[in-house]
Structure 1
Amino acid sequence: MSDFNDFNNPQVAKLPKHLRQFIVEQHYEKYTPIDQAVWRYVMRQNYSYLKHVAYYPYIKGLQRAGLSIERIPDLQTMNDNLGKLGWGAVTVDGFIPPAAFMEYQAYHVLVIAADIRQINHIEYTPAPDIIHESAGHAPIIADADYNSYLSYFGSIGAKAMFSSKDFELYEAIRHLSILKEAVDTNQTEIEKAEKHLRKIADNMGEPSEMALLGRLHWWTVEYGLIGTLKNPKIYGAGLLSSIGESSTCMKEDVEKLWYTMDTINYQYDITKPQPQLFVTETFQNLIDVLEQFADTMSFRRGGAESIHKAIECKNPATAVYSSGLQVTGTFTDMGTNEKGELSFIKTTGGTALAVENKQLEGHGKHYHKDGFSSPVGKLKGINTSVEEMNATELEMHGISAGQHANLIFESGIQVKGEVTHILRHEDKNILISLENCTVKEASGNILFQPEWGTYDMAVGEKIISVFNGSADKEAFDEIIHISQKKTHKITYDEHTQHLHQLYARVRSIREDNINTEELPGLFLFLKNEYPEDWLCALEILEIVYHKKLFPELEGEIRNYLTYKATTKSDYRKLITDGLIVIENPVNQLITEED
């Protein structure tokens, strides 16, 4: 990807190609004047309310992340500022798969949806947007304890095993969020997508590691509270970016519970306000709970249970032998002994072998294009495992270049063939290559035949770790699941484009303090041509109120907005909150905080 823009940010520059494939250009010029007004409205509301309930100094956090209340952030400015905190940011197209999202966090890169919510979803959007991602996640990055948790969560999450059903759920969530944020979707289509999502969600079976981690992520990074049950503060980005839910979540009917390992038992619904939230006393507690959960995961446990998860995943995963050898491929079969311990593992299709996350020369997925299979365990009647044997011990058991070996494992699997090569790494034997080789189970079932070519036998008494994805991602050239459904791009008609021009004119008058005499005419045009609009009317009122201009116009706009708030329930809170911020200006509040 030669044209990759890393924004001169070291963290973004380190992103591997399998993550770069999700990045899209921000196209700042495509944000409309209404988009800019939506950003400004939400951010002014956020600050007005969040100064009381947010965990950290909101404005200072915004400024350190390169954000302002006045306009949508530009990615270069954000990267310049986040770079000083050891982080970076990139823009993507809506929801990306959880595994990729987690891995970005591990690389200290924030993933920001390039789109911004439509004005009809100004309080809450079902789709990721630039308000949620940048104004929610970025400001708290300045807190060292929190960003340690975020990056550590990413490194754990990137290893989490997912199920094939997780993919279906991800696609259903992404599809619904795109429909809900689109301008012209009919209600029947949305209801159909909601029904489809519910059907998948209700038939997930046992939740995967990724699903459980997703819950921990949701109840902390997205919807977390910190402090005490009686007086919690908001740090979750989903709450910080929702001017509706950040207010309602503090009410008593939203139950507040302590954040513990038990939190993994609470599912969540992205389409509804949350019935309960979880409070942590410290960010260190988040790390402690994450550690506790990580101890239950395949990458730390290994064994048959973990290979079973890899088989269910139906996507590339990596199994690590106790010798250090890593096998990456799509696992399709395994064998166990009477104690339930692994005796054999098998992949189908392109498979690669690696050590310490570096692919072994000559053992990429094109060489092992038809899959890979190998025993697991010790040789029968021999205490020393093959991986630990020195040259003398190996020779004693017929494992030496040029010798004919007849290896019988405790499981009964027999490997017979001529040894051609023994690969060692850090005093351990990790791979034995044999020609004219036959491998069969105790039952007589053939696992490998001489005519299939060279048999590369992995060496290791146990599988000590299994994790999602490949060991050497660059060499494996892993392409993560990318959705074919794209977010909707709006084409504006001429009538709407004139409204954009009107918003731009009002902003220009406010910012440049010129041509205020145009305001009465602009409001009259707005009222007659765009009777559904409320936000531009608020912005005109803001100017005349603060500059003490046109008292009659001010009264007319107030009456107009009051009537709207009374007759249109959807507008009531938005207009009321907008009037409060006009009369208690944010700039004044910022000065008071500083």
Structure 2
Amino acid sequence: MPVNDPVVAEQTPAEDHTIDQCWDRYTEEEHQVWTTLYERQMKVLKGRAAPEHFKGLELLNLNDGGIPNFDRINEKLYKLTGWQVVAVHGLIPNDVFFDHLANRRFVAGRFIRDADKLDYLPEPDIFHDVFGHVPLLTLPTFADYMQAYGEGGYKAIKHDTIENLTRLYWYTVEFGLINTPEGRRIYGAGIVSSQSESRFCLEGRSPNRIHFDLERIMRTDYRYDDFQQTYFVIDSYEELMESTANVDFTPIYERIKNLPDIPAHKVLPTDKVYHEGTQEYARAGGLAKQVEWV
């Protein structure tokens, strides 16, 4: 739980870990932080983010008077794809997270970062969760993928393969890239909410850019504290859906459980490689805690 948010601290979470957003309790300073982040990010995302992200921002009107009100978002979002956004007190257990997704509820933190900490957070805030994730939930195919991911979480718990499934979420929902007629674009929320990684992932010499491969991703380590060393690229959201939603993961888990993890920087002979990175950024030590939370 973020210690600097008294509105969160005074609430007792429900059994499903949700709390009231208490939108009317946000301060003018907090609303201004959202506006600053929004305007800054829209500039850097021009020509970099997927068109579906911009469309989702427009459909939900996410820059109307500061921090979005979940009640207003949900009126529009539910009509479009049957999803809702719910506030939670902080990071929640895996089984609760999967249950929310499986029932078309996206969990979001209530708090927003301080004005003097725009570029780094130890955990995701409402800007990351809502600006980053929610726009694509207006797209039926991606909305279905997120529900299917939640349903798949039940099986991952049963097979003790949460880490493998987490990697899939990490390299798609958080840090995925997509090929479009206009060029390669960002759809992962961890990138679209990060000023510096929005440039790094597409234009940097350092990271690998490799085509999506389900089993390969589920074996690949990732960076949780810095820019990624490899980004995976899909050709369409339909490819993502068809490759995962109607697939029995049980035999996949059986195949990979005794295989070694693939280092985050590694390029395999079987990879479809768009760009083999120099890894110069990672070898130099990266920026670690100086970069934004992604």
Structure 2 match to 1:79: 74
Cα shift at 1:296: 2.6
Change (3 A) 1:58 1:51: farther
In structure 2, the partner of 1:284 is: 238
Matched, 1:296 2:251: yes
Query: 1:264 aligns to what?
Result: 218
Equivalent residue for 2:165? 213
Give, in angstroms, the shift of residue 257 of structure 1.
Answer: 1.0
Structure 2 counterpart of 1:32? 27
SS, match of residue 278 in structure 1: strand
If the length of structure 2 is used for normalisation, what is the TM-score? 0.73
Partner of 2:270: none
Report the alpha carbon displacement of residue 121 of structure 1 after superposing the two structures with TM: 3.0
Q: How does 1:293-332 map to 2 (within 5 A)?
A: 294-296=249-251
Report which of the two structures shows the higher radius of gyration computed on alpha carbons: 1
1:6-405 mapped onto 2 (5 Å cutoff): 20-68=15-63, 70-85=65-80, 86-161=82-157, 208-227=160-179, 231-250=183-202, 251-260=204-213, 261-290=215-244, 291-292=246-247, 294-296=249-251
Offset of 1:269 from its aligned partner?
A: 2.9
Aligned to 2:47, the other structure's residue is in SS state helix
Pair 1:259–1:19, CA change in 2 (3 A): farther
Alpha-carbon distance in structure 2 between the residues aligned to 1:70 and 1:123: 22
Q: Aligned letter for 2:169? A: H
| Structure 1 Cα separation of the partners of residues 59 and 99 of structure 2 | 24
Gaps of 5+ in 1: 1-17, 164-207, 306-572, 575-594
Contact conserved, 1:224 with 1:235, CA < 8 A, in 2? yes
TM-score, normalised via structure 1 length: 0.38
Cα drift, residue 213 of structure 1? 0.2
SS of the residue corresponding to residue 227 of structure 1 reads strand
Q: Is the Cα contact below 8 Å between 1:157 and 1:210 reproduced in 2? A: yes
3-state SS of the aligned residue for 2:155?
coil
CA distance in 2, matches of 1:121, 1:254: 26
Q: Deviations over 1:451-478 (max 9, x none)?
A: xxxxxxxxxxxxxxxxxxxxxxxxxxxx
Q: Which has the higher contact order (CA 8 A, sep 6+)?
A: 2
Higher share in strand: 1
Contact 1:54 1:240 in 2 (8 A): yes
Q: 2: distance between equivalents of 1:162 and 1:30? A: 41
Once residues 39 and 216 of structure 2 are traced to their aligned partners in structure 1, the CA distance between those partners, rounded to angstroms, is: 36
- The alpha-carbon deviation at position 287 of structure 1 amounts to 2.7
State the shift of 1:59 in Å. 4.1
CA contact (8 A) 1:258 1:278 kept: yes
Q: 1:82 to 1:107 in 2, by over 3 A?
A: same
Matched residue type, 2:58? Q
Contact kept, 8 Å, 1:227 with 1:233, in 2: the verdict is: yes
**Which residue number corresponds to residue 263 of structure 2?**
none
CA contact (8 A) 1:216 1:264 kept: yes
Q: Percent of aligned pairs with the same residue? A: 29
